[in-house]
Structure 1
Amino acid sequence: MQAYMGPLENQFNYRPSSGHCVYFIGIGGIGMSAIARILINEGCVVTGSDVRSSSLTSTLEKMGARINIKQDGSFMTSKTDVVVVSSAISEDNPDLKTARKLGIKVVKYSQILGSLMKEKRGIAISGTHGKTTTSAMISTILKTSGLDPTFVIGGEVPDIGGNSHLGKGNLFVAEACEYDRSFLNLAPQIGVITNIEEDHLDYYENIEKIIHAFGDFASLISKEGLLVVNNNDANVALAIQRAHCKVETYSLENASDWRGEIHSVNDGVTRFKIFRKDTFFDEFLLKIPGAHNVLNALAATAVCTYIGVEKDAMKAALASFNGANRRFQIVGVRKDVTIIDDYAHHPTEISVTLRAARGLYPGKRIWCVFQPHQYSRTRHLLKGFSRSFQNADKVIFADIYAARDSEYERAAMNSMKLCEETRAMGVDVRYIPHLCDITKELSFQVKPGDVVITMGAGDVGKVAYDLVSNLG
């Protein structure tokens, strides 16, 4: 387990400039690829490595990046100016060992992100859940309003060009991840905290240390800036006690600076009213499902109002917002079977996503294919996971997708244990280890009218796309 450290003494100030050769270890990661795209557009020479090819690495190669689908140290040269690593890269990685041997400067992804943000007016969106969609909403509003922001988002957003963009405007929107306290490398003038729950316990150990880290984040917002927070979260209330800036709250339940009131949900379209300090602000609509997305829209509205975006521009952008990939993404409809892919990998995310699916598809049989992400997360949150599948009719668990897991964690937990705990909660659940076998089983078992949702932060989305192909 990694040691928990106190507040950072100072922030990192290096950033690559045009002509610098930058090597990314794990370049196919969603955040790493986003920064790589920005640096290519700024004139840097980008190279890197990953363990597999993907649409993200293909996009980078088309932009001019040279990528090695190995991490064996063979692709890095002494001409490299700086090496960027994600939090998933360990010290025994051959590429990283080569960089150390050659004496090349090694920096974290979040440090480069923080250095880029300092050059503009930074907007950092944090939280255990919802930060990708909220970041995407804010970026979409700003871009369609003509403000041309730079943004780095933890998911692909096709409507605005992907997971990153180098804008000419003075705004920089970034999804701020709390793992490894990496969000403390940022320098935001505007911040968002969507919620705070137990997660990344392989690093933080307990909720108190998580709240403390978010308190550090809240204290980073400049005194002249704004912090927008969920007003229905006791952990958030504790964290923001250390904020030095103006704080605005949002909620669906409590009296808040920004309060949402859902008016109707029909054919997947949610209509809701927004009240600002109990005064009617306007009526909005979203075509992505779930009350949790109305909360995300409230946060985005608060931020963009503060920036000065016109109300009608916000309404239009949110009404046309299609969401980020892997956030309740409808992959296809074949033989009257609806196939959806979602990134949910925490008990709360699973629960709210299945609740949204049940509301959107009343009376239909819902299949959930879940690939747990990390042995340690599965072990720490086992009881929560077992209670999160109540709105699914049929559940299938795949093997756990390993990430940063020690041998101890791999030995202590497996999907069969999760299956047994979930079955004890009255859920119809099966354990099928391999994704290819899950696809085959679904191909035989699904019936017209069924809804299939694949869930997880690993590669479980393959099942959704392969099932569309098999049923086609």
Structure 2
Amino acid sequence: MSEFITTGALEAGVLSALQGSLVYLIGIGGAGMSGMAKVLMKGGCIVHGSDMQPSQSLLHLEELGAKITLRQDGSWLSPQARLVVISAAVQEDNPDLKKAKGFGLQVIKYAQMLGSLMGDKVGIAVSGTHGKTTTTAMVATLLKEAGEDPSFVIGGEVPGLGGSSGLGSSKYFVAEACEYDRSFLHMRPQVGIITNIEEDHLDYYKDLEGVIGAFRNFAQGVSRNGLLVVAHGDVNIMKAIPQDVPCNVETFSIGSASSSWRATPPVRGGGLNSFKVYYKEDHYGDFALGVPGSHNVKNALAAIAVGHWAGLPKEIMQKALKEFRGANRRFQMLDTVRGVTVIDDYGHHPTEVCATLQAAREHFQGRKLWCIFQPHQHTRTRFFLSRFARAFREADEVVFTDIYPARDSKEDMESVSSVDLLKEAQREEVRALYVSGLDNVASEVYPRLREGDVVMTMGAGDVWKVGVELVSLLRGGIRLRRTGVGGSTAWQRNGHYDGQGLKRQN
């Protein structure tokens, strides 16, 4: 049996203790886990791992030297592994995990490992119910463009950074900090960001008060001489921030003069959101942002606050944000083919859906907007059913497909379906349809598309495949007709599906 990594090594920085050692990752294909795998390999570790589904992330990790199996049956796990890291989704009955425990191997969670990697660096942890990935990417981008070469682990691929993770030479380590399973409490950062707090992960937390309590603990974990950056006016954040928080606190907002960092309402033009930034009472500078949506202006303010704390030149931050193009699956433009624009987005909470569709409305004014939505988790869909229904009002046409299960029990899966969401949306006068089977969606939507349409696939599962297939169909298909915003094809909207495709009205 391999020697255990000591508590001191885990707390002070673990890479040096693991150089040349075998680390096994269960659930290696997840966004955070795959990023961590890259950091470990660049740090000199031998990485093996397992997952349940093939993906581009796994192929890339294999190209970098990782050995990966899709059989989570314990057969690939070596008793020589120095450390086993598991994702938050791994259950106690997982065969790989049971085998690791049978071998007496040291097992830690992803979040604990992430905290260890951050341990001997100046840690910057980005938390919040929404906007974590984009804000983390912005912070890492500002540091990189200023020549700081940060280490980072982000829950999504960021083309401008060369991927979802990197092991840099500077003192900074930037990480996306997830609240699920209270994972972010394993971090003790010098800088913490809370973008917002809402109900979510209610399969884990009992209620909103439990969520707020976890963020309170996160805030208390920020270094005494550090900085906590939070959204101004967020009622739940105000409840979460204790009076005795040990560090300096700065707030950000659009329009509120009482916040530390304030942006004027953004003006859209030339493909950019332009806005003025004020720090306290002084005009700090004029900024432009290359990704749409007021919510991203707020994300940028949080990143600017961190950059200011780190002493980054304002001019470099202005240039970096103007050129910032976001992370994959965050308002990601897949292509525009024959007048149809296809976008993919990770939004899977009602607030995210609403904000993203509003951003699309602002960005593509006067164009018909489609939303193809794959709900993520039966528990989340059940908890937020009515809020989800209202969130789709900004779209002209909505297509629901089957719920993507994640951590759902059999009882959860039987408690709600996409048909329930369809009916609720129709009560809100949303023009909505349901297509059974993800593989059937693109072929059903494609014949209805017209020049000028915008199609947005949305969800945290594998709905992105529909966008890729639509682009392929558009590239090789017949000429599309021109149409106005309302469209010319009427669909039957009673929620019925006969297994042969969606029926058209005569």
TM-score (norm 2): 0.90
**1:226 corresponds to:** 227
Selected match of 1:351 from 351, 354, 376 = 354
Which whole-Å CA distance do the structure 1 matches of 2:266 and 2:127 have between them? Answer: 28
Per the alignment, in what secondary structure is the counterpart of residue 395 of structure 1? strand
* CA distance in 1: counterparts of 2:10 and 2:167, whole angstroms: 21
CA change 1:256–1:197 in 2 (3 A) is same
Deviations 1:49-70 (A, max 9, x none): 1112212111111111000022
**How do 1:450-465 and structure 2 match up within 5 A?**
450-465=453-468
Deviation at residue 262 of structure 1 after TM alignment: 2.7
Q: Does 1:102 align with 2:100?
A: no
CA–CA distance in 1 between the matches of 2:267 and 2:49? Answer: 48
Equivalent residue, structure 1, for 2:504: none
Aligned pairs for 1:163-182 (under 5 A) are 163-182=164-183
Aligned residues of 1:259 and 1:278 also touching (Cα < 8 A): no
| Structure 1 counterpart of 2:465, one-letter code | K
- Indicate yes or no: 2:122 matched with 1:121: yes
Deviations 1:321-366 (A, max 9, x none): 0100000000011110000000000000000000000111111110
1:310 pairs, out of 310, 313, 322, with: 313
Q: Contact between 2:266 and 2:294, CA under 8 Å: does it hold in 1?
A: no
Any runs of at least 4 consecutive aligned residues in structure 1 with deviations exceeding 4 A, and if so which? none
Question: Unaligned regions of 5+ residues in structure 1, if any?
Answer: 1-9
How many angstroms apart in 2 are the aligned matches of 1:354 and 1:441? Answer: 22
| Cα shift at 1:386 | 1.0
Q: 2:399 aligns with which of 392, 396, 399?
A: 396
Q: Is the 8 A contact 1:264 1:272 kept in 2?
A: yes
Shift of 1:264: 1.6
1:404 CA drift (Å): 0.4
Q: Choose from 239, 242, 245 the match for 1:243.
A: 245
Give, in whole Å, the separation in 1 of the partners of 2:71 and 2:337.
Answer: 37
Q: State the one-letter code of the partner of 1:321.
A: F
3-state SS of 1:388 partner: helix
**Structure with bigger gyration radius:** 2
Write out aligned runs for 1:41-440 (5 A). Answer: 41-241=42-242, 243-254=245-256, 255-440=258-443
CA contact (8 A) 2:122 2:190 kept: yes
Aligned to 2:35: 34
Structure 1 contact 12–185 (Cα < 8 Å) conserved:
no
Does the 8 Å CA contact 2:29/2:51 hold for their aligned counterparts? yes
1:287 Cα offset (Å): 1.6
Deviations 1:102-133 (A, max 9, x none): 11111100001001111100000000000100
**CA–CA distance in structure 2, aligned partners of residues 192 and 441 of structure 1:** 42
Give the AA of the match of 1:32: M
Q: 3-state SS of the aligned residue for 1:262?
A: coil
1: distance between equivalents of 2:78 and 2:159?
Answer: 34
TM-score, L = length of structure 1 = 0.96
Residue 253 (structure 1) shift: 3.2
Amino acid at match of 2:67: R
Q: Is the 8 A contact 1:366 1:394 kept in 2?
A: yes
Query: Whole-Å Cα distance in 1 between the matches of residues 125 and 372 of structure 2?
Result: 32
Amino acid at match of 1:146: G
Are the counterparts in 1 of residues 272 and 322 from structure 2 also a CA contact under 8 Å?
Answer: no
User: What is the number of residues matched between the two proteins?
Assistant: 463
Matched-pair contact (CA < 8 Å) for 2:442–2:470? yes
Tell me the alpha carbon deviations over residues 197-238 of structure 1, each in whole angstroms, 9 at most, x when there is no partner: 000000012100100000000000011000000002000011
Query: In the alignment, what sits opposite 1:5?
Result: none
Contact 2:253/2:259 (<8 A) preserved: yes
| 1:267 positional shift | 4.0
Task: Output the CA distance in 1 between the equivalents of 2:84 and 2:156.
Answer: 23
What is the deviation of 1:278? Answer: 2.2
- Structure 1: how far apart are the matches of 2:71 and 2:421? 33
Aligned partners of 2:115 and 2:188 also within 8 Å: yes
Equivalent position amino acid for 2:279 in 1: R
Letter in 2 for 1:441: E
Amino acid at match of 2:314: K
* Alpha carbons 1:11, 1:185 under 8 Å: kept: no
* Separation of aligned partners in 2, 1:144 and 1:160: 10
- What are the Cα deviations for residues 23-75 of structure 1, in whole angstroms up to 9, with x where unaligned? 11110101001111011011111000111221211111111100002211111
| Structure-1 separation of matches of 2:437 and 2:271 | 32
Identity rate, percent: 51
Does the 8 Å CA contact 2:198/2:236 hold for their aligned counterparts? yes
Give the whole-Å Cα distance in 2 for the aligned partners of 1:369 and 1:11: 47
**Take 2:149 and 2:118, find their aligned partners in 1: how far apart are those partners?**
15
